[in-house]
Chains A and B, each alone.
Chain A
Amino acid sequence: MAKFLIEAVPERCTGCLRCQLACSQRYTKAFNPSAARIKVVLKGAGCEVSFSAECTGCGICVENCFYDALLKRPGKVKS
């Protein structure tokens, strides 16, 4: 059940992957960045944050970000 719209602020992201670790642990019971529903890719000066179709908007990635690079907004994720 989608709870939030999740807004990424890529310029604040440090690539620490805590969002991916928390997401994968919730949904696969293992810390596995490759299985996360959120993906962060740092390349050169840029940063891309994307969400897979399976993202439920549960917000665990937001709760685990130390850098305010992910924010919860009212609304539901598009499926």
Chain B
Amino acid sequence: MTRGGFAGRVLSVDLTNRFIETAPLDLVMAEHFGGGLGLCIKLAYDRLDPTCDAFSDENTIVLGAGPLVGTSLPATSRVYGVTRFPGSSRIGWCGGGGMVFGCLLKNAGYDHIIIKGGSDVPVYLKILDDDIEILDAASLWGKGISETYEQLMDKIGRPAGVISIGQAGENQVSFSMAYIDRISTLGRGGFGAVMGSKNLKAIVVKGTKGIHVADARAYKALSGAILKKIRAYPYLKEWQDLGLLKSLPVVPPDVYHELKLRRIACVSCPIGDKDLIRIAGEGSEEVICSSSAVNLFMPLVYGFKDPLDAARCIAMLDDYGLDMFEFFGVMAFAGELQDRGIIPLEGKEDKIDITSLSSMKEWARKISLRNGLGRIFADGFRGMFSQFGPEAKKLAPSTIKGMLTYIGPRGPMPWNLFGTMELGQVLDPRGPHVGSSGSPTYFAKRELDVFPQHLRRMGIPEDAVGRILPGLGTPSQGLKIGRLLKYSHQWFTILGSLGICARAQINRFYDAGLCAKLYEAVTGIKTDLDALRLRSDRAWTLLCMANVRAGYTRKDDILPEKWFQDPAFKNYLTGRPLSPDDVERMMDDYYDEQGWDVKTGIPTQERLKELGL
């Protein structure tokens, strides 16, 4: 059987010395770490100086797409990155719906891009198959995400994949993101700022080489079965119509339909959730896009009254490249400090009102350009704690590793049951993020007897199912969130390493056993479920080790006090308020299940040996 799936090369770019090098992908290493996310972690671990500052030239960005990306398998477009993040100071992953970027990167012949150093002037990286150049970005610098994208399309022609930053990234705002093809967000926690610190405005890619699969017959049979399953899914049309609004109805469907122009999907996705929206004003019309309809209307949750103003606000934040959750968290905190006189009101126009579009417009501009107090707010909660002192810190919302926990009883996503995504905000190395921590607890108050089928789909071994659900079917049945989270991280890393979207409404069409078969059919690398789990654990453990090497251990997994004050997080099963000790016990379980030292959170020598690290 021939090798397939992988494009076969790694592109390295040294921005300081303007040096570009391509090298063959180390297929043994690719097999060892799966590819995609797993291989991003390995390539970053081998190159990242653990003592480096996020904004130093020593910080390295590794981007990549897994072996299934670029095939026609449903929802296999994911693009991942690993770097040191300024928001949390941790070495972490980030990932986004790859739009066309991942597919075209692979078609250009590259599985990964490694970017090190920093340019002394703004540049962008152009990749057209083997024609790779570091080009002057003077005409793009200072421009928002949309204009940058359009200018690059005009230069290079459609279709092309683009990862770019807005003004917030240029000015190293600690909660700036990069955007894939102007729509899909990449890197809550300052990925955009890391690109900005390197004076790297954008990466644009086109490719014509094609992606082969190793076993076309097996591929056809497996993909046909998935297709059949998707077409038979009774809620397919509803998901296609409403996207995430189906599960989070921030606005009624008719409000959304009034604005909706077109649904946009990442390559090969059956449930495209990106939106093109038309907002008609007095004598004007704006066409804007967003990473999801739910995001577009989130300002309503913060007190906006008009859905159109909410959409305008999000479009503006997206164009600067600002993370919505952190921006509104910082603004709400700053508003409270202003009300209490801790932050002086310099002028009437500086009054912070998180329910007002004009106020948020003004502050988004100041933060993105680091004007006035925006200079302090641009450094996020950490910058504000350091500037305004411990009294101010007491008024802050819940933070972990210096960033807002956006899911919680008082969070913008008001959720009070404590499942894996909630615990994952503490235990994901990158900081408070829920993307890696999905499980059946995603849905509230699910009956425990439906858990086993979902856990088996995630590839959880039978003995572990017993530990996660002790006494299932008896009056004393329980649910061990910490133990389950270990396998959420494993499942997430499997999906990410292959390139499959991790969203619940997509990964429902996959199971871990199927993933092993697909990996083998596409790459030609002999793979069973055990091998897939081992590679996933190896990669996630190495991500932990990258942070251990940088000095972070369990002592830094600090729980926010406000999680336990009324209204507190509640036990997923019983609904009783949780105590810090309850959550510490869940963390004990997590580390134990990982085979890491329970006291320190550091992987044991024995576990490292088992994983071949």
Q: How far is the CA of A30 from the CA of B216 in the complex (A)?
A: 10
Query: Do A32 and B265 touch across chains, with their CB atoms under 8 A apart?
Result: no
Query: Do B262 and A11 touch across chains, with their CB atoms under 8 A apart?
Result: yes
> Measured between C-beta atoms, what is the minimum distance from A42 to chain B in Å?
7
* Binary contact track B363-403/A, C-beta < 8 Å → 1, others 0: 00000000000000000000000000000000000000000
- A–B pairs, 30, beta carbons within 8 Å: A14-B263, A14-B264, A14-B272, A15-B264, A15-B265, A16-B267, A16-B268, A17-B100, A18-B267, A18-B268, A21-B72, A30-B212, A31-B70, A31-B71, A31-B107, A31-B212, A31-B213, A33-B159, A34-B206, A41-B158, A42-B264, A45-B261, A45-B276, A47-B262, A64-B227, A66-B74, A66-B230, A66-B269, A67-B263, A67-B272
- Looking at chain B, what size class is its interface with the partner chain? 35 or more
8 Å CB contact of A33 from B107, B213, B263, B270: B107
Residue B209 is within 8 A (CB to CB) of chain A in the complex: yes
* Binary contact track B68-87/A, C-beta < 8 Å → 1, others 0: 00111010000000000000
Residues of chain B contacted by A67 (CB below 8 angstroms): 240, 263, 265, 272
Residue A28 is within 8 A (CB to CB) of chain B in the complex: yes
> Measured between C-beta atoms, what is the minimum distance from A16 to chain B in Å?
4
Query: Do A35 and B212 touch across chains, with their CB atoms under 8 A apart?
Result: no
8 Å CB contact of A25 from B72, B206, B240: B72
* Closest residue on chain B to residue A67 by CB atoms: B240
> Measured between C-beta atoms, what is the minimum distance from A19 to chain B in Å?
9
Residue B580 is within 8 A (CB to CB) of chain A in the complex: no
Among A27-79, those with CB < 8 Å from B are 28-35, 41-45, 47, 64, 66-67
Q: Size of chain A's interface in residues, with CB distance under 8 A?
A: 28
> Measured between C-beta atoms, what is the minimum distance from A69 to chain B in Å?
11
Query: Do B265 and A14 touch across chains, with their CB atoms under 8 A apart?
Result: yes
Residues of chain A contacted by B227 (CB below 8 angstroms): 64
Q: Considering the complex of A and B, which 6 residue pairs feature the smallest CB-CB distances, nearest first? A: A30-B210, A32-B210, A14-B265, A16-B265, A21-B72, A14-B272
Residue A22 is within 8 A (CB to CB) of chain B in the complex: yes
8 Å CB contact of A28 from B103, B210, B261, B272: B210
Residues of chain B contacted by A29 (CB below 8 angstroms): 212, 216
Residue B287 is within 8 A (CB to CB) of chain A in the complex: yes
Residue B477 is within 8 A (CB to CB) of chain A in the complex: no
Q: How far is the CA of A74 from the CA of B272 in the complex (A)?
A: 29
Residues of chain B contacted by A64 (CB below 8 angstroms): 72, 227
Among B215-255, those with CB < 8 Å from A are 216, 227, 230, 236, 240
> Measured between C-beta atoms, what is the minimum distance from B235 to chain A in Å?
13
Query: Do B272 and A16 touch across chains, with their CB atoms under 8 A apart?
Result: yes
* Binary contact track B116-145/A, C-beta < 8 Å → 1, others 0: 000000000000000000000000000000
Residue B359 is within 8 A (CB to CB) of chain A in the complex: no
Residue B604 is within 8 A (CB to CB) of chain A in the complex: no
With contacts A14-B264, A16-B267, A45-B262 taken as known, whether A35 is within 8 angstroms of B70 at the C-beta atoms is no
Residue B565 is within 8 A (CB to CB) of chain A in the complex: no
Q: How far is the CA of A21 from the CA of B72 in the complex (A)?
A: 6
> Measured between C-beta atoms, what is the minimum distance from A72 to chain B in Å?
16
> Measured between C-beta atoms, what is the minimum distance from A41 to chain B in Å?
5
Residues of chain B contacted by A18 (CB below 8 angstroms): 72, 267-268
